[in-house]
Amino acid sequence: MGKDHSTNQGPLSRRSFLGLGAGVGASMLLAACGGGSSTPPGAGGGGGGGGQFGEGKDYTGPNVSLAFWNGFTGGDGPFMRKLVEQFNGEHQNIKVSMNVLQWADFYPKVPTAVSSGNGPDIAIMHIDQLATNAARRVIIPVDEVATVLEYEESDFAPAVWSAGVWQEKRYGIPLDIHPLLQYHNEKFIGQAPTDLASFESTVKDAEGKGAQNPFWVTSTWPAHLMWWGLIHQFGGTPYSEDGSQAQFNSEAGVEALTWQISNIQKGYSPKNVAADAQAVAFRQGKNVLTWDGIWMMNEWAKINGLQWQASTMPQIGDQQAVWASSHNFVVTSQAQKDPNKLQASKVFISWISDHSIDWAKAGQIPARASVRETPEFKELEVQNIAAQQLDYVKFPPAVPGIGEVTAPTFELAVNEAVLGKKSPKAALDEATSKANELLTANKKKYGG
């Protein structure tokens, strides 16, 4: 009994002590806030001053925890987890807990979770999702973070830096860029094709070496991403510059899709290539030339005896262009309720960004030029090849809801055309009119 008493008293006194501590912390915090807003900025970093993300690049407040969500379910997950662990080790007063879920579940779940207060404080989102989530108030502007951390456009690839801005506010801090790449099997192909003529000769050559179907054209993902690059190559754009009109059925769009299908007609590709079959076939050495994401490099590397090489996308049309996306740091409206979380999130973003060379190893190109110029990055062969494409990567315009226009429109059209259900023109005509209806509806919904 006596023992029980003493143990009972321990927690009691500890709890009251903790309560006292929390109280002191809170009042100190209040004081800090008051001070911050009343004293004019000047001591802090350049011009802009504190704002809601606080001043300076460091966080000195009480212990704070950050929920960090992303969709790195593949080979990239462990790389990010390691970085987070390292960050936690170096920052005693910030604890980041990472939650990983499939991207397909991530985008529907995050808004719900954030609005209920059980979601992430910081997250990773793709560049075509930023405007949507900004318009839906899931994420908040991060211009201040960019200012305080002294991030400038010159340090980022221009395309990715400008694509994170919606209604003159920045919603994402780019972490990486991941384009499509060309991969070939060295057993069948000596030199990677660079243009239409060398593409034809390379593929024919591979056929001669016993590859029955050297270039598999899939009917599902990522076929529409190839088309996305090709329509730009043929001089078109899928959307008008302001993102209000779809132009999939332009001459360039039809030409791009027609070229994709011609590979099936010429027998370079089997018919009816279903989901993932082209990647499986590449692993097996049946598909010997393939266009796939840079993130696949680590998958190929796992296959014993597969001799593969990466190269930039060939120029099939009149100019070079390639599909790419970008992972961006975002701060959610949930974190906005706690100034400490906002400050800490800034520290986290800056730290990961500074360490993005380790992230690059997961099969990514760091968004920051200063990281790409390090000798460490030069050692990453595939990533360097992919980085050569940065001048002509193509993102969609920053318009709310644009990410969701893809699946029911041009992704569907590419599928129907590749499977021979519709002619490229007919499929793209339908996709265009549907996309325009969706864009109009989105404009009305999100208020232009």
- Looking at the DSSP bridge assignments, the partners of residue 315 are 195
The smaller minimum CB distance to other proteins, of residues 95 and 422, is found at 422
Taking the complex as a whole, the smallest distance from the CB of residue 279 to other proteins amounts, in Å, to 10
* Least distance to other proteins, CB of residue 270, Å: 5
User: How many Å apart are CA 224 and CA 219, to the nearest integer?
Assistant: 9
Beta carbon nearer to other proteins, 37 or 118: 118
Q: d(Cα 388, Cα 399) in Å, to the nearest integer?
A: 27
Residue type, 270: P
CB 219 to other proteins: min, Å: 6
Which of 172/401 has CB closer to other proteins? 401
Q: For residues 18 and 280, which CB has a smaller minimum distance to other proteins in the complex?
A: 280
Nearest approach in angstroms of CB 29 to other proteins is 29
Q: Which residues form the interface with other proteins (CB under 8 A)? A: 107-108, 111-112, 115, 135-138, 216, 219-220, 270-275, 277, 280-281, 284, 286, 401, 404, 407-408, 412, 415-416, 419, 421, 434, 437-438, 441, 445-446
Nearer to other proteins, 51 or 446 (CB): 446
13 or 167: whose CB is closer to other proteins?
167
Give the relative orientation of helices 339-354 and 2-38 as an angle to the nearest 10 degrees.
80
Cβ of residue 399: shortest distance to other proteins, in angstroms?
Answer: 14
What's the min distance (Å) between Cβ of 203 and other proteins? Answer: 17
The minimum distance between CB 23 and other proteins, in angstroms, equals 35
Nearer to other proteins, 91 or 136 (CB): 136
